[in-house]
Amino acid sequence: MSIIFPKRNAPSKNRQEGDSPGAVDRDANQIDPSRSLCSDPSGETARSKIHRAYGVVGSATLLSRVLGAARDIVIASVFGAGLVSDAFVAAFRIPNLLRRMFGEGSLSIVFVPVYTDCLLRQGRLEADRLVNSAIRCLALVLTLIVLLLIIAAPWVVRVMAPGFAADPEKFMLTVNLTRIMLPYVISIGLVALSMGILNVLGHFAAPALAPVFLNISMITAISAGAFFSGSKVVLVKWLASGVLAGGVLQLILQIPFLIRNKIYFWRPSRFWHPAIFEMAKMMGPVLFGAAVYQINSLVITLLASLLPQGSVSCLYYADRLVQFPLGIFGVAAATVVLPTMARQSTEQQFEALRRTFAHAIQLVSFITLPAMVGLIVLREPIVALLFKRGAFDQHTTQLTASALLYYGIGLWGFSAVRVVLNVFYALKDTRTPVRMAVWAVAANVMLGVVLMRPMGHNGLALALSLSSMLNLGLLIVALRRRLGALGWRRISLSVMKSALCALFMGISIWALARWLGAAEIKRSIVLLPVVAGCVITGVLVYIGFARMVGVPEIQLVVDLVRKKKKQHGASA
């Protein structure tokens, strides 16, 4: 069974010259699609809007990651790497996995193409009915899942962290924390749906800012708990409650922007919309295909629970540092281009789709390659600056820094996979990513089991990076078969130039850090200017070399800046 949409009128016959797609539906309470990201799917307008939206999402994500780093600093300082921190990390991974799978991952991926299709083909009124139905169905499904998992929490923890069963205190603490945080999945799932709605309508700021409220809530909760108790067990329960409160705050933030875009979700509407069936059919394969990184991270946590105490926490802190550039650059780029590619696919603008993909890959590579090199070269000073205080000692710093090295190797692969996956989902192809995901997960498990013996927790980090590279390679081969030539000669040349510039940057900051004696500095207050100086120097060196070798992304940024200056000058 599939949905049959009414035949779309030919644009040349039913629209006046200059009308944007969907203009015929404005009388049906339709928001002007010229506000959306992809009003001109094939021209420079779409590319410029992608850049602007990328700037908005990247800036908001940067603020969120900075506060996330502050949150992790507080957690590391209070709990270090031990029983309580391992319990929280393992417990938090369970709702976090559900958030990424049902929320930011699969839900947005299946909703955006279907919603875009409905909006373009059937008009705003029918699209609003789809939104109301999706909100009700999602709230019911997530509530049932959460209730079931709360009841089954002991069994879930045994599966997620089997090594914890040997320590009854750690096991029960993990179970209790899991039960406290599981309702967070309901609110964050609705936030993810709101993100899909607003992104299609051209609004990116509120969804991107949502994680800021989670971080503020967690920091506030642990700070408030410190006034009432000095027990780590009590404090970690306050922290878990902060996660729950943060989810509610994130959802509240979306409501005014939904209303501003005329999404009146409280109005009476039928519970089941026919398009929900199409989304449900896509959800199963997308759950697995889009959540490979999360599934592999969960496998890493499972295997790390069998290693010495503190391994789970060290991998968590290293992963958090990798998530900083990944969220700002990789996830932001994938989020921004999905509505554009969904519209291009719906309108069968496949040449424009190939150009959008190529541009996204080049942009992601241009930014993530230097970030990867910087993390690897400055790994120990960065970990020491952010976490080395309180219960987080020198030994824990070295263990976390070594894990960051092996996670950092795969940063470019983690970021590029998100973009490649969204091409398949824009085409509503959910089977191909699943096939590739099976190989990637299997490789992660086998590599993890093999490498953890000689390398400990470092072997698990390396296994995750290698499996992501395998996943990316398989997806690219499949995409080439699906869309034909993707302009790999141009893409490869751009990526090679970016890699060369990143290499020179890495040598420069390594020499500078060595000259400044970063490895011997013990106090964070002294490390701050040293790390900041290395980062600023690296950025300047990278930009300088990029201009010398003619990396195209540099010129695109310069053109955008010049265009904005001209616009400001004209308006003045």
Give the pLDDT confidence of 282-304 residue by residue, as tens digits: 776 766 666 677 777 778 878 88
20: Cβ contacts below 8 Å, ≥ 6 apart: 32, 33, 34, 39
Residue labelled with tokens 């507080």? 74
Q: Could you tell me which residues come within 8 angstroms of residue 1 by beta carbon, excluding any fewer than 6 positions away?
A: 277
Please, are residues 190 and 131 in contact by the beta-carbon 8 Å criterion?
no
Contact 419, 495 (CB under 8 A): no
Q: What is the distance of C-alpha 45 from the center of its chain?
A: 25
CA separation for the pair 214, 196 (Å, rounded): 19
Average pLDDT over residues 521-528: 72
Structure tokens at 136: 């009700």
Domain boundary, last residue among 486, 510, 535: 486
Confidence of residue 32 (pLDDT cuts 50, 70, 90): very low
**Band (248; pLDDT cuts 50, 70, 90):** very high
- Please answer whether residues 542 and 505 qualify as being in contact, where contact means their C-beta atoms are separated by less than 8 angstroms: yes
In a domain? residue 32: no
Verify that 316 and 417 share a domain, yes or no: yes
Euclidean distance between the first and the last CA atom of the chain, given in angstroms as a whole number = 57
Please, what is the angle between helix 205-228 and helix 184-200, to 10°?
160
Taking only the tens place, the pLDDT of each residue in 114-154 is: 888 888 888 888 888 888 888 888 889 889 989 999 999 99
Q: Last residue of some domain: 486, 505, 539? A: 486
Specify the pTM.
0.64
Residue 338 lies in a domain: yes
Q: How far apart are CA 98 and CA 217, in angstroms?
A: 20
* The two structure tokens encoding residue 209: 């800012």
pLDDT in tens, 86-117: 888 888 877 877 676 655 556 777 787 788 88
417 plus 462 within the same structural domain: yes
Phi, psi dihedral angles at 393 (to 5 degrees): -95, -175
- Distance (Å, whole) CA 247 – CA 64: 14
* Same domain (yes/no): 96, 211: yes
Distance CA 398, CA 310 (A): 12
Sign of the CA dihedral with 462 first, then 466, 467, and 468 last: positive
Both tokens assigned to 193: 């749906």
Same domain, 414 and 529: no
Within a domain: residue 563? yes
Mark whether 527 and 446 lie in a shared domain: no
Shared domain for 162 and 237, answered yes or no, is yes
Question: Is 33 a member of any domain?
Answer: no
* Residues 151 and 93 placed together within one structural domain of the fold: yes
Return mean pLDDT, the chain.
Answer: 78
Alpha carbons 33 and 43: distance in angstroms, whole number: 16
Residue type, 269: S
Domain count, the chain: 2
Residue 526 lies in a domain: yes
Query: Residue 386 and residue 237: Cα distance in Å, rounded?
Result: 23
Amino acid type, 419: V
Residues 441 and 521 in one domain: no
Provide the strand spans (E) within 112-180: none
Per-residue pLDDT at 102: 59
244, 304: one domain:
yes
Task: Specify whether 539 is located in the same domain as 467.
Answer: no
Q: Is residue 54 part of a domain?
A: yes
Domain for residue 19, yes or no? no
The whole domain housing 567 covers: 497-572
What the block records as the tokens of 541 is 């060196």
Report if residue 1 sits inside a domain. Answer: no
Residue that is last in its domain, among 462, 486, 510: 486
Q: Both 434 and 523 in a single domain?
A: no
